[in-house]
Structure 1
Amino acid sequence: MKKQRRQPYRRRKRKASLYNYLVILMILVILLTFLLAAKWYFQKPDDPVSSPAGTSQIKLNNLASPNAVLVRLNSDGTGEIMAQRNAAERIYPASLTKIMTAILAIENIDDMGQRLEVPYDFFPYLYEMDASMAGFEPGETATAEALVYGIILESGAECCLALADLIAGSEEAFTGLMNDKAEELGMTDTHFSNTTGLHDTNHYTTVSDLAVLLEYALKNPEFRKIFTSSYYTVEPTNMHPDGFTMQSTLFENLGDQNIKGGRILGGKTGYTDEAGLCLASLAEVNEEEYILITAHAAGSHETEQYHINDALTTYGQLEK
Structure 2
Amino acid sequence: MKWFKRSGKLAAAVGMSLCLSLGFGTVLPGAAADAYAEERLLGISEYGPVQDIGERQNAASETAAESVPETTAAAAQNSAAFSAASGNLSKLTADSATQAIGDAVNSRYAAVYDLDQNRLVAAKNASQVIYPASMTKIMTVLVCAERVSNLEEKLTVTQDIVDYIHAHDASNCGFTAGEQVRVKDLLYGIVLPSGADAVMVLTRHIAGSDEAFVKLMNQKAQELGLSANTHFTNATGLYHAEHRTTLGDMAEILNAAMKNPLAREVLSAHKYTTAATNKHASGLSFSNLFLRRIEDQKLGGAAVRMAKTGYVRQSMFCAASYGTSASGKHYIVVTAYGSGTWQCIYDQAALYRSFTA
Consecutive unaligned residues in structure 2, runs of 5 or more: 1-91
1:290 aligns with 2:337: no
Residue 307 of structure 1: aligned partner: 344
Residue 113 of structure 1: aligned partner: 152
Out of 278, 300, 303, the position equivalent to 1:263 is 303
Residue 188 of structure 2: aligned partner: 149
Amino acid in the other structure paired with 1:210: M
The correspondence of residues 203-218 of structure 1 with structure 2, limited to 5 A, is 203-218=243-258
Residue 69 of structure 1: aligned partner: 111
The structural deviation recorded for 1:80 is 2.6
**Preserved contact between residue 94 and residue 120 of structure 2 (Cα < 8 Å):** no
Amino acid in the other structure paired with 1:278: C
SS at match of 2:324: strand
Which structure exhibits the higher relative contact order, with contacts defined as CA atoms closer than 8 Å and separated by 6 or more residues? 2
User: Whole-Å Cα distance in 2 between the matches of residues 267 and 306 of structure 1?
Assistant: 15
Out of 271, 274, 278, the position equivalent to 1:231 is 271
User: Whole-Å Cα distance in 1 between the matches of residues 221 and 270 of structure 2?
Assistant: 27
Residue 170 of structure 1: aligned partner: 209
**Preserved contact between residue 322 and residue 332 of structure 2 (Cα < 8 Å):** yes
User: Whole-Å Cα distance in 2 between the matches of residues 49 and 102 of structure 1?
Assistant: 36
Q: When the two structures are superposed, what TM-score results if normalisation uses the length of structure 1?
A: 0.77
Amino acid in the other structure paired with 2:110: A
Residue 219 of structure 2: aligned partner: 180
> C-alpha offsets along residues 293-312 of structure 1, whole Å, 9 cap, x if unaligned?
1111223x5xxx21111111
Q: Give the percent of matched residue pairs that are identical in Structure 1 and Structure 2.
A: 36
Q: When the two structures are superposed, what TM-score results if normalisation uses the length of structure 2?
A: 0.70
Residue 8 of structure 1: aligned partner: none
The structural deviation recorded for 1:208 is 1.2
Residues 50 and 238 of structure 1, relative CA distance in 2, 3 Å threshold: same
User: Whole-Å Cα distance in 2 between the matches of residues 215 and 198 of structure 1?
Assistant: 23
The structural deviation recorded for 1:319 is 5.7
SS at match of 2:172: coil
User: Whole-Å Cα distance in 1 between the matches of residues 100 and 125 of structure 2?
Assistant: 15
**Preserved contact between residue 323 and residue 330 of structure 2 (Cα < 8 Å):** yes
User: Whole-Å Cα distance in 1 between the matches of residues 328 and 315 of structure 2?
Assistant: 32
User: Whole-Å Cα distance in 2 between the matches of residues 179 and 319 of structure 1?
Assistant: 32
Residue 135 of structure 1: aligned partner: 174
SS at match of 2:185: helix
Amino acid in the other structure paired with 2:153: Q
Residue 124 of structure 1: aligned partner: 163
The structural deviation recorded for 1:206 is 0.8
User: Whole-Å Cα distance in 2 between the matches of residues 197 and 205 of structure 1?
Assistant: 11
Amino acid in the other structure paired with 1:70: V
**Preserved contact between residue 171 and residue 193 of structure 2 (Cα < 8 Å):** yes
Poorly superposed stretches of 4+, deviation over 4 Å: 45-49
**Preserved contact between residue 291 and residue 305 of structure 2 (Cα < 8 Å):** no
User: Whole-Å Cα distance in 2 between the matches of residues 319 and 168 of structure 1?
Assistant: 40
